[in-house]
Amino acid sequence: MLRGLVLTAVLLLSACGSPEQSPAAPSSTTPAKRLLVVTYTTGFRHDSIAIAEQTLDALARQAGTFTVQFCRTGADVQSMLSPASLRGFDAVAFVNTTGNLGLPDLPAFLGWIAEGHGFAGMHSAADTYHDEPAYLDMLGNEFLTHGAESSVDAMVENPTHPASAMLGPRFAIFDEIYRFARGNRGQVTMLMSLDRQPVDGLPGQGEPADLPLAWAKAHGAGRVFYTALGHRDDVWRNVSYRQHIGAGLQWVLGLR
């Protein structure tokens, strides 16, 4: 009996002393989800990373249901993406990352997602870890090339998924448009695609095509969201793009 009381007291104490409550959390019974945003690069570095970080910080404050921490350097990657550190997060976003990021244990990271955590990738997250097929499989594709920045009129394919429902049937945007190593239709929940090649100087420009642009998928029990858009600063300021990624992040966090 005494032991039971002591245990109850310990449990109550530890519940009260649980980690930092975000002031933005809607109530003490719904702790904010924790998102780790990785902007480290070992290849090309986008100028838009600065506004991308500001945008994600603003989206978290607006939503009030999740917090963001930033992982910016190789040293941050070693400390914040270790298996022990990942226990403190609900999802990770690779935001304009490039190259081999040198995660301390990439298979453990992919396994952590598959256990039921979230992953979001923006733009050059697909230009990351080209030498790791397991990462590319988790993401759902691999960046191949791009032409000049161009205007596209994307087809919004999924009117019910949280990350695309608000966009309407078409989404017009001016950005750098990625081509991917392969088609992934049927392997992912396609959110946005192009039905013709962008007019950007690459072979076949303007011709009918089927090009993936944004998708959602499962990785084991985890949720994965990717959008190829996000090269230019003004894309990160675009209200519809911000809604698209804000909802995508909430979806991988299990909030929607």
State yes or no: residue 232 binds Zn ion (CB under 5 A): no
- The nearest distance, CB 194 to Zn ion, in angstroms, is 16
Rounded Cα gap, residues 92 and 80, in angstroms: 10
CA distances from residue 245 to 95, 133, 228 in whole angstroms, order as listed:
11, 25, 11
Does 231 bind Zn ion (CB under 5 A)? Our answer is yes
Piece in contact with Zn ion (CB under 5 A), picked from 31-39, 86-94, 176-184, 202-210: 176-184
**# residues contacting Zn ion (CB under 5 A):** 2
Least separation, in Å, of the C-beta of 154 and Zn ion?
16
Q: DSSP of 22-45, one letter per residue?
A: -TTSSBTTBPPEEEEEE--BSS--
Q: Residue 231 or 244: which CB sits closer to Zn ion? A: 231
Look at the chain and count its residues: 256
- In this complex, which beta carbon is closest to Zn ion, that of residue 26 or of residue 201? 201
Contact, 206 vs 196, CB < 8 A?
yes
* Region binding Zn ion by CB under 5 A among candidate stretches 17-25, 80-88, 223-231, 237-245: 223-231
Asked if residues 159 and 165 have their Cβ atoms less than 8 Å apart, the reply is yes
Shortest Å, Cβ 130 to Zn ion: 15
Nearer to Zn ion, 33 or 231 (CB): 231
CB of 43 to Zn ion, least distance (A): 11
176 is an interface residue for Zn ion by CB under 5 A: yes
Which SS3 state, helix, strand or coil, does residue 225 take? strand
Question: Measured on CA atoms in the order 178, 68, 104, 74, is the torsion positive or negative?
Answer: positive
The SS3 of residue 172 is strand
Residue 199, CB-side half-sphere exposure with 13 Å CA sphere: 4
Shortest separation between residue 231's beta carbon and Zn ion, angstroms: 3
8-state DSSP, 126:
G
Report in angstroms how near the CB of residue 238 gets to Zn ion at its nearest: 15
Shortest Å, Cβ 158 to Zn ion: 24
Contact assessment for residue 190 and residue 215, using Cβ atoms and an 8 Å cutoff: yes
User: Which residue's CB is nearer to Zn ion, number 142 or number 176?
Assistant: 176
Q: Which helix (H) or strand (E) holds 187?
A: none
Give the nearer residue to Zn ion in terms of CB position, either 90 or 176: 176
Question: In terms of CB distance, is 54 or 62 closer to Zn ion?
Answer: 54
Residue 213 is encoded by which pair of tokens?
């642009």
Stretch that binds Zn ion, among 50-58, 175-183, 185-193, 212-220 (CB under 5 A): 175-183
Q: Which parts of this chain interact with Zn ion (CB under 5 A)? A: 176, 231
